A and B are shown apart, each in its own frame.
Chain A
Amino acid sequence: MSTVGILAAREYMSRLRSRGFIIGTILGIGGIVALSFISAIGSWLAGTFTTSIALVGPDPSLTRAIARDLRDDYAVTVIPVSSDGPHLPTAVKRDVTGGKYDAALVAYRDNRGALAFSYYPAKSASLEEQERLRQRLLSAVVNADFDQRDRSAIRRVMNFPFVTVNLNPRYKTAAEAGLAQGLVYFLLLLLYIAVVMYGMNVASGVVEEKSNRVMELMIGAVRPDQLLAGKITGIGALALTQMFTFGCAAGVMLLLVGLHYATSLQSAMPAGVMHPPSLAIATVPLSTIGYLIVFFLLGFFSYSTMFAGVGALASKTEDVQQSNGLLIWPVVVAYMLSIFALQDPDKPLFVWASLVPLISPMLMFTRVATSSVPMWQIAVSIGLSLICIWGFTLLAAKLYRVGVLMYGKPLSPKEIWRALRAPA
């Protein structure tokens, strides 16, 4: 095995066995499992927080009809009292303020004989909540106050045809594009965390070796650029291992949850209704996964070479944290741009920014995953990133050569510049 291989293998194995990595991986898998059950958790939570309503209506049959329309979203209790106006019967008010119900709804006929409602929530209701209730009651009003012919006309008007046909050949429907955006959002977050976390790992690894003086022993056997290459390769392989583990966990959960949906819910859904999200993830094109790996590697190597240079110049972990704070900015900018680009990935600003190294790994990934990017743009973006990595590696190797055996106070910019210009 080559020297770099030996260094990378040590870096990889010792970190793989570390408690931090094992706990992080287990927590990550736990998060993926939890996400897989998010819809189940969502409905459980929805059940827990369903608003209970005491319903007072003008006559028993109409009250029952209203209750039927509300039952999907509210826990409705029909109060056997007939209303004769908007006011709330005292006994019901007492129950609401006493906490038996979250709210009361009084349905009554107004002066013109039209169906009207008064809503009495125990706590102040948001506009959104009021609007939701109005929407639910619309159907009750149509049923109560219009004859059969008018009802059909009203329903037709309310559900006029509206179809989105996406001209982006990548996605056939808006729903598919929306799902891809959701998925890319998730993958972006993963990319962001991985690049930042593993990039910083490189810097802190260098400082650790400096602070416990192992560096001194190693520098007698290997060149600084070999040390740099070994460290970055080992940590990069570790990051890929963790992402692969997460990918496998996600795959298994998709299969399990997907099968469950396929057998229970899917058959009950009318055609054209959006798939449950977990099934949509299963339709991710392989090319997206391929681009994720390519852009992760480009992002990791761009940032980790920078972080390694910083680590070589620092003596203490605190110094590294300070410098890392500055280096993180390009990642944050790239992340923010990518989030905006999800809405309109082919805007000129995003097209040009997606070619810029340090930003491109995230932004170009967002674009290729959500739009049809011309091949030349992908090639330029990858090419420029590779040139940037090459430059950073040369720079980091130089900083490594002068910095790994320096201790004490952090170097001033002038000293760093002098060190970079020195032959060795």
Chain B
Amino acid sequence: MLELNHVSKRFGSVQAVSDLSLVARPGAVFGLLGPNGAGKTTSIRMILDILQPDQGEVRWAGHRVDAVTRRTFGYLPEERGLYPKDKITEQLLFFGRLHGMKTADARARMQELFEAFGLTDKLNSKPVELSKGNQQKVQFIAAILHRPPLLVLDEPFSGFDPINVEVVKDAVRDLVAAGTAVLLSSHRMEQVEELCEDICIIDRSRAVVNGSLKEIKRSWPDRFVHMTQLPDMSFLEAFPGATVRPSANGIAAVRLTPQTDPAAILRAAVTAGPVEHFEIVEPSLTDIYLHYVKPEDAAA
């Protein structure tokens, strides 16, 4: 289990992370969210022992993370690359050995992963000869080659087409099923929502919400309705606090205050126009995120 206990980090006059605490469990995906500059990368670097916290501590399996522990972790950074002119197999063996694998084990595992990712015909290629998507797959393989107990993924889906996003998601699910703790940092809300059981949203160096995604949704005070986007949605003006967010697919997301009865909304909507779709839903992660992170923060 990964634990961050009241971790803080300051660079000069900039407070990068303030009093952050979180727990990432084995066999589950933990989502770390927040706008650019909120402190996600600094937190990840403290988890990986690249940076030392000014206060607090990072623990893995009950012990403080040190050089020996961090060597067992897997890390896929947001900005990543390979040696452009070296064969990918050589590079993967190199990374495997850096993580303490024996060459023969690393070779066998590499074969297995190349098959899973459909790269068996690329064994003798160099990164410059691969498509961007295949390069990303190789980088992902480098991060999981040594079967890490903790896998830290920073924007793992960037650069992948939808088919390969599914391949990577399946790989993450397999790792989770095998007991790996995964820490996922991403701006792609739908993927985080799909994979993560627990989340933490950081804004301006502080955690603004932290815990089980299901619990957060369940205890969310506002109600949400997805309904047919009518030409005139002004009937909502009769319900104080109701806001609407239109979408391109003809479905409007309506947020209601806890006091508003969704049945009353339905009745009013039917009088305003033909309603083909009406659904009471839990808040989406985007709704939660937008509730905590204000536009001026995201622009920072």
Contact = CB atoms under 8 A, between A and B. Distances in A.
Contacts of B98: 3, 6-7, 218, 221-222
B18 to A, nearest CB: 18
Contacts of B142: 217
Nearest to B127: A212
B176 to A, nearest CB: 19
Contact of A216 (B11, B79, B84, B99): B79
Contacts, number: 66
A213 B45 contact: no
Nearest to A414: B12
Given A14-B86, A212-B84, A213-B80, A219 B95 contact: no
A411 to B, nearest CB: 12
Contacts of B99: 221
B146 to A, nearest CB: 9
B83 A213 contact: no
Contacts of B298: none
Interface in A214-261: 214, 216-224
A224 B52 CA distance: 13
A238 to B, nearest CB: 16
A423 interface: yes
A286 interface: no
A223 B143 CA distance: 16
Contact of B80 (A1, A216, A223, A424): A216
Contacts of A213: 77, 79-81
Interface in A1-15: 1, 3, 6-7, 10, 14
Contacts of B94: 6, 10
A405 interface: yes
Nearest to A219: B50
Given A212-B82, A214-B83, A220-B73, A405 B95 contact: no
B116 to A, nearest CB: 20
A422 B16 CA distance: 14
Interface residues of B, number: 32
A214 B81 CA distance: 5
B106 to A, nearest CB: 11
A217 B50 contact: no
Interface in B111-154: 139, 142-143, 152
A405 B83 contact: no
A202 B80 CA distance: 21
A156 interface: no
Contacts of A423: 52, 54
A112 interface: no
B30 interface: no
Contacts of A219: 48, 50
B83 A14 contact: yes
A123 interface: no
Interface residues of A, number: 23
Contacts of A1: 97
B71 interface: yes
A418 interface: yes
B83 A216 contact: no
A13 B102 CA distance: 19
Interface string A64-86: 00000000000000000000000
Nearest to A14: B86
Interface string B88-104: 00000011011100000
A7 B50 CA distance: 18
B163 interface: no
A405 B70 CA distance: 17
Contacts of B45: 405
Contacts of A224: 50
Contacts of A6: 94, 97-98
B97 A216 contact: no
Contacts of B80: 213, 216-217
B75 interface: yes
Nearest to B83: A214
Contact of A223 (B12, B67, B78): B67
A417 to B, nearest CB: 11
A418 B77 contact: no
Contacts of A405: 45, 50
Contact of B71 (A7, A217, A221, A422): A221
Q: Which of B77, B78, B139 has the most A CB atoms < 10 Å from its CB?
A: B77
Nearest to A5: B97
A222 B74 CA distance: 12
A367 B250 CA distance: 87
Interface string A37-49: 0000000000000
Given A3-B71, A216-B80, A423-B52, 19 more contacts: A10-B94, A14-B86, A212-B81, A212-B83, A212-B84, A213-B77, A214-B82, A216-B77, A217-B95, A218-B95, A219-B48, A220-B73, A220-B143, A220-B152, A221-B95, A222-B71, A223-B67, A224-B50, A424-B52
Interface of B: 11-12, 45, 48, 50-52, 54, 67, 70-71, 73-75, 77-84, 86, 94-95, 97-99, 139, 142-143, 152
Interface of A: 1, 3, 6-7, 10, 14, 212-214, 216-224, 405, 418, 422-424
21 contacts: A6-B97, A6-B98, A7-B98, A214-B81, A216-B77, A216-B79, A216-B80, A216-B81, A217-B80, A217-B95, A217-B139, A218-B98, A219-B48, A220-B70, A220-B73, A220-B74, A220-B75, A221-B70, A221-B75, A221-B98, A224-B50
